[in-house]
Amino acid sequence: MKNQQPLLHRDTFRLEFGAGEPPLAHWAQQMKRSMLREMLAVVARPGILSFAGGLPAPELFPTNEYAQVTAHVLATDPAALQYGPPYVPLKRHIVHLMAERGVSCHEEQVFLTSGAQQGLDILARLFLDPGSPVILEERVYTGIQQAVAPLEPQILTVTTDLETGMDVEAVAAYLEQGTRPALIYVNADCHNPLGVSLSLEKRRRLVELACRYGVPIVEDDPYGFLHYDGRAQPPLAAFDNRCVFYLGSFSKILAPALRLGWMVAPEALIPKLTVIKEANDLESSAFTQRAVCAYLDAGHLPAHVDDLCREYRRRRDAMLAALERYFPAEARWTRPAGGMFIWVELPGRLDTVALLKLAVEREKVAFIPGTAFCADQRPLLTGELCRAAHCLRLNFSNCTPERIEDGVRRLGRIVASEFGHR
Amino acid sequence: MKNQQPLLHRDTFRLEFGAGEPPLAHWAQQMKRSMLREMLAVVARPGILSFAGGLPAPELFPTNEYAQVTAHVLATDPAALQYGPPYVPLKRHIVHLMAERGVSCHEEQVFLTSGAQQGLDILARLFLDPGSPVILEERVYTGIQQAVAPLEPQILTVTTDLETGMDVEAVAAYLEQGTRPALIYVNADCHNPLGVSLSLEKRRRLVELACRYGVPIVEDDPYGFLHYDGRAQPPLAAFDNRCVFYLGSFSKILAPALRLGWMVAPEALIPKLTVIKEANDLESSAFTQRAVCAYLDAGHLPAHVDDLCREYRRRRDAMLAALERYFPAEARWTRPAGGMFIWVELPGRLDTVALLKLAVEREKVAFIPGTAFCADQRPLLTGELCRAAHCLRLNFSNCTPERIEDGVRRLGRIVASEFGHR
């Protein structure tokens, strides 16, 4: 690279200009970092016992097996490092994974993405015009808010029952009044942040409504394979394959750094999805697609997912037991059937943003305040308390049962000291 | 995963609905696959000698070295497969790479992307409001067209001189008349598809204009390290770091399947870029970032880039010699100082779309017709010939000199037979 010497000495050449920064798009001027991301940055200090992030347990990653398949693919597949079309053998594996979730599809409906977040982004572009209405739950995964934000949508919210999930009759009311949202976002299994799974009756009703009114459902299902009690429910995509756009991911069942997920969509829309993805990042890594495919070829996944479920069940149970032991009797929390999160509602008009500060300073333990997940951020701006201000999200997948017991004990001490309970 | 049995038999449960497909966003209804992508699919048949794609030479990929660094990273870095923030040691390497291009920046200005295409997409979102004007060259990389398409921009075009590059005075005229484009897209070095590099005088003038009028330049520089004759020019980013947003990529100097690139941007805008990227795909692979960093740590890159330049120079020279030998005297073509492409203008009112069909059928050789790169696709729709209809783009990086000689000979035969030359 000796040719790369510049022709000029920059010191003598730098131009001097008067103008300021280039103007940004309207939405980008308003844009703020999500409170979730800000808080994750704040609590990522050494020595903090964190229930804040949504991180899988790194000690459970199939690192050795993945090292084997990457070495094998690089040694044997000359197309591994090149540009290439979506890898069909991987799509075939995904068809089988979907069948395990009760979803019947064929490989032409499988669309590979760089993680489920990219699926959200692509579907937002496919469906939203500027200012379009979208239906979200009041407490919702922040990634969907970020994906729709550039279109400056009208956010319509519905509440969520902590035992049966989304208020589907509120969705029905919007639709019956003539509202036609560009999409309805649903986390039917092991909701992030709430931990609840949608009841079977509500699943059926929601899909029926969406199809009747021709409104797409974006079903975000990162945790659908992480189920700890009895049988999983079929996802919404099991009931329909025209109105439900299913998003799956290898992030939680293999590893986040693969940045590989998938969508199941009507075959007729795959060409449009492809154009949007090309604009987005051209394509997902041919190498990663082949490595994950080789991992699946080797038959490693079922035992690995069983291992994950066994360990995460222990961690969930440890957290539920510790909450019972150390949290005030008036507090309520969800009992998730899977996934990674428990949602806690503290009694009274408590502010968990203030609580977090104390918890980090005094007890070196962290969580995410409920407010971070409010779909409608306007109450924050006007000074009103969001209806999740007394709530918090706890992650149980990233700590051992022993640390969970210890951390919830410390957190319970702060809650008790601040609010005079126990 | 034995828990994943569905509760229901889908055959008896599938719901029947009356409504059709969900409605799409306005721009998505109009969206077409780019002609480039369609043609790449058409010519990707076995037995075709293709100068069509923009593929690097797979036999030159540093596969063994990359296998070593991936194995090393997986064996030693417990954060390799987890979610994680952008990897600062990799940013430090990029600061040094940029210094070799004559660009002085610090690591807080380096923003990692999933390839340069993602950089285009993120900058389109940052700068474009719906309907915003953008300035493109008449013949332009299709990826920028795809990135801006969702905003339904007003495309303003300028011509390109095949020896000195973009008509910068035409840009000046737009700006002086009061037009304020949301961005100006520039491929200053080894233009795709034209192969030309912008003259030093035009670089200086263009940056001066952009800064004076506060208009951002998006400098797409995938080929800046692939320079075959003497010294490379400094990129636009060497003259300014407020109005020029530089995009680099490891796709052409290491391998496309890494899906890793970078942006150099004003530090004050990095938080906004981060929010847009989170919406897009959360983050780029922590594993790939660490593997590429380990490759750079090992000091492999300079010798590898020298090897690439040596071989690609041979291929370019073979193609230029074959064009001289086999193409009609009236044809013109560019003599690129680097990159991967030669642009050929055939004499008369020739239609290279028709020529491609014959070339593939009779001679089993492929290229991309110039029309595929027209920034303003309206002439295509109204039936007028685009001003690139007699042109074609040839890739020289993906074939050996022997195959290049053979392929250009076959292509020359078709050109001669169709148009009576030689």
Secondary structure (H, E, C), A261-318: EEEECCHHHHHHHHHHHHHHHCCCCHHHHHHHHHHHHCCCHHHHHHHHHHHHHHHHHH
Residues A201-240: pLDDT tens digits? Answer: 999 999 999 999 999 999 999 999 999 998 889 999 999 8
pLDDT at A407 over 70: yes
pLDDT at A21 over 80: no
Alpha-carbon distance B171 to nearest alpha carbon in chain A (angstroms): 16
Cβ-based burial of A209 (10 A; exposed 0-12, middle 13-18, buried ≥19): buried
Are A165 and A197 within 8 A, CB to CB?
yes
Alpha-carbon distance B3 to nearest alpha carbon in chain A (angstroms): 5
Cβ of residue A306 closer than 8 Å to a chain B Cβ: yes
Q: Whose CA is closest to B200, among A6, A18, A12, A4?
A: A6
Task: Tell which B residues from 109 to 128 touch A, by Cβ distance under 8 Å.
Answer: 114-115, 117-118, 120-121, 125-128
Cβ of residue B226 closer than 8 Å to a chain A Cβ: no
Instruction: Give the strand order in the sheet containing A332-333.
Output: A332-333, A341-345, A391-395, A368-369
The rounded mean pLDDT for chain A is 91
Are B396 and B403 within 8 A, CB to CB?
no
Residue A332 host element (H or E): strand A332-333
B71 vs A67: CB contact, 8 Å cut-off?
yes
Strand partners, A150: none
A114 vs B182: CB contact, 8 Å cut-off?
no
Cis bond upstream, residue B85 (ω within 30): no
Strand partners, B345: B332, B391
Are B232 and B224 within 8 A, CB to CB?
yes
Quick one: how many helices (H) and strands (E) in chain B? 15, 15
B283 chain-A contacts, CB cut-off 8 A? 259
State residue B230's pLDDT score: 81
A8 vs B80: CB contact, 8 Å cut-off?
no
Residue B112 host element (H or E): strand B110-113
A211 chain-B contacts, CB cut-off 8 A? 15, 17, 19
Alpha-carbon distance A41 to nearest alpha carbon in chain B (angstroms): 10
Q: Whose CA is closest to B184, among A278, A22, A16?
A: A22
Closest Cβ–Cβ partner in B63, B71, B80 for A81: B63
All residue ranges of chain B with pLDDT < 50 are 1-19, 379-381, 421-422
Closest residue in B to A124 (Cα–Cα): B25
A178: Cα separation from own chain's centroid: 30
Closest residue in A to B184 (Cα–Cα): A22
Strands (E), B294-416: 332-333, 341-345, 365-366, 368-369, 391-395
Query: Phi, psi at residue A59, to the nearest 5°?
Result: -70, -15
State how far the Cα of B8 lies from the Cα of A293, in Å rounded to an integer: 29
Alpha-carbon distance A223 to nearest alpha carbon in chain B (angstroms): 12
Cβ-based burial of B339 (10 A; exposed 0-12, middle 13-18, buried ≥19): buried
Cβ of residue B304 closer than 8 Å to a chain A Cβ: no
Q: How confident is the model at residue A37 (pLDDT cuts 50, 70, 90)?
A: confident
State residue B20's pLDDT score: 57
Closest residue in A to B180 (Cα–Cα): A23
Closest Cβ–Cβ partner in A26, A34, A147 for B129: A26
Closest residue in B to A199 (Cα–Cα): B7
Q: How confident is the model at residue A3 (pLDDT cuts 50, 70, 90)?
A: very low
| Residue A274, token pair as written in the block | 């492809």
Closest Cβ–Cβ partner in B6, B58, B121 for A280: B121
**Helices (DSSP H) in A82-139: which residue ranges?**
88-100, 116-127
Cβ-based burial of B261 (10 A; exposed 0-12, middle 13-18, buried ≥19): buried
| Residue A192, token pair as written in the block | 């992030």
Instruction: Give the strand order in the sheet containing A217-220.
Output: A110-113, A261-264, A244-249, A217-220, A183-186, A133-137, A154-158
- The pTM (predicted TM-score) of the whole model is 0.93
State residue A4's pLDDT score: 42
**DSSP state at residue A359:** I
B157: Cα separation from own chain's centroid: 18
Cβ of residue A102 closer than 8 Å to a chain B Cβ: yes
State how far the Cα of B381 lies from the Cα of A418, in Å rounded to an integer: 69
State how far the Cα of A366 lies from the Cα of A47, in Å rounded to an integer: 11
**DSSP state at residue B341:** E
State how far the Cα of A305 lies from the Cα of A217, in Å rounded to an integer: 27
What are the distances in angstroms from CA B420 to CA A314, B344, B413? Answer: 79, 18, 10
State how far the Cα of B180 lies from the Cα of A105, in Å rounded to an integer: 48
Cβ of residue B83 closer than 8 Å to a chain A Cβ: yes
B3 vs A309: CB contact, 8 Å cut-off?
yes
Closest Cβ–Cβ partner in A22, A128, A251 for B127: A22
State how far the Cα of B98 lies from the Cα of B106, in Å rounded to an integer: 10
pLDDT at A14 over 60: no
For B234, what's the count of Cα atoms within 13 Å in the CB-facing half-sphere?
Answer: 22
Which residue type occupies A353?
Answer: V
Task: Tell which B residues from 127 to 156 touch A, by Cβ distance under 8 Å.
Answer: 127-130, 132, 143, 146-147, 149-150
Q: What percentage of chain A reaches a pLDDT higher than 70?
A: 92
| Residue B190, token pair as written in the block | 């080894």
**Helices (DSSP H) in B214-340: which residue ranges?**
270-281, 286-297, 301-326
Closest residue in B to A252 (Cα–Cα): B82
In this predicted structure, which of A303-307, A417-421, B200-204 has the lowest mean pLDDT?
A417-421
Closest residue in A to B149 (Cα–Cα): A279
Strand partners, A369: A392
Mean pLDDT score, A237-244: 93
A238 chain-B contacts, CB cut-off 8 A? 6, 8, 10
A101 chain-B contacts, CB cut-off 8 A? 4, 6
State how far the Cα of A240 lies from the Cα of B15, in Å rounded to an integer: 7
Cβ of residue A247 closer than 8 Å to a chain B Cβ: no
Mean pLDDT score, A45-50: 90
Task: Tell which B residues from 373 to 392 touch A, by Cβ distance under 8 Å.
Answer: none
State how far the Cα of B149 lies from the Cα of B153, in Å rounded to an integer: 7
Closest Cβ–Cβ partner in B216, B238, B276 for A6: B238
Are A228 and A338 within 8 A, CB to CB?
yes
Closest residue in A to B214 (Cα–Cα): A22
B328: Cα separation from own chain's centroid: 29
Task: Tell which B residues from 324 to 383 touch A, by Cβ distance under 8 Å.
Answer: none
Radius of gyration from C-alpha coordinates of chain B: 23
Closest residue in A to B303 (Cα–Cα): A1
B38 chain-A contacts, CB cut-off 8 A? none
For A392, what's the count of Cα atoms within 13 Å in the CB-facing half-sphere?
Answer: 31
Cβ of residue A295 closer than 8 Å to a chain B Cβ: no
Residues A54-79: pLDDT tens digits? Answer: 999 999 999 999 999 999 999 999 99
Closest residue in A to B245 (Cα–Cα): A22
A280 vs B281: CB contact, 8 Å cut-off?
yes
B306 chain-A contacts, CB cut-off 8 A? 1-2
Are A326 and A409 within 8 A, CB to CB?
yes
Are B192 and B341 within 8 A, CB to CB?
yes
State residue B14's pLDDT score: 36
Q: Whose CA is closest to B137, among B166, B170, B116?
A: B166
Strand partners, B47: none
Mean pLDDT score, A404-413: 97
State residue B76's pLDDT score: 98
Q: Which single residue is written with the structure tokens 């560009």?
A: A182
Residues A146-197: pLDDT tens digits? Answer: 999 999 999 999 999 999 999 999 999 999 999 999 999 999 999 999 999 9
Which residue type occupies B62?
Answer: P
Strand partners, A113: A261
B19 vs A256: CB contact, 8 Å cut-off?
no
Are B93 and B225 within 8 A, CB to CB?
no
Q: Whose CA is closest to A196, among A53, A368, A334?
A: A334
Cis bond upstream, residue A193 (ω within 30): yes
Q: Whose CA is closest to A153, among A129, A137, A120, A172?
A: A129
Cis bond upstream, residue B193 (ω within 30): yes
Interface test with B, best of A98, A141, A219, A282 (most B CBs within 10 A): A282
A233 chain-B contacts, CB cut-off 8 A? 6-7
Cβ of residue B9 closer than 8 Å to a chain A Cβ: no
